[in-house]
Amino acid sequence: MNQTKKYILVLIGSVSVAAGFIGIFLPLLPTTPFLLLAATCYIRASSRLYHWLIEHRLLGKYIKGYLDGEGIPLKAKAFSITLLWLTMLYSGIFIVKILVVRIIMLITATGVTWHILSQKTRI
């Protein structure tokens, strides 16, 4: 792989790590998908950054179980789905006035819920 591709992957991975970190504190920004994207970019561009992310004491726990196929803790599933629907419903009722956007939000929330529920549950 040429250097330019590696730099681009590291950049995308780093932006994804930043977005994932912010997502820990902002409920509308998903943490795990951004960290999975970062891991995907890092494993192709820099094994050092990949191992740093996976072994990170705060960020690593968000993706280790997912990557290892162990599943998602039941509490995390319940919290994620509850928070997802509360924020989507609040946004759809009080903030978003465009019907097409509301429909897209509903479809997105349904898809994310299905994905979370389809993952193995770790107790």
Question: Each residue of 36-93: pLDDT tens digit?
Answer: 889 999 999 999 999 999 999 989 988 887 778 888 878 778 878 888 899 899 999 9
Residue 72 gets which letter from DSSP?
E
Residue at a domain's end among 32, 48, 70? 70
CA-based torsion, 99, 94, 82, 15: positive or negative: positive
pTM over 0.75? The answer is no
* The predicted structure's pLDDT at residue 89: 94
Q: How many CB atoms are closer than 10 A to CB 65?
A: 18
Percentage of the chain lying above the pLDDT 90 cut: 55
Instruction: Supply the pLDDT for residue 64.
Output: 83
Domain of residue 40, residue span: 1-70
Please count the other Cβ atoms lying within 10 Å of the Cβ belonging to residue 73.
Answer: 14
Same domain, 89 and 64: no
DSSP 8-state class, residue 94: I
* Tally of domains in the chain: 2
Q: Are residues 62 and 31 in the same domain?
A: yes
Residue type, 43: I
Burial (Cβ within 10 Å: 0-12, 13-18, ≥19) of residue 10 = middle
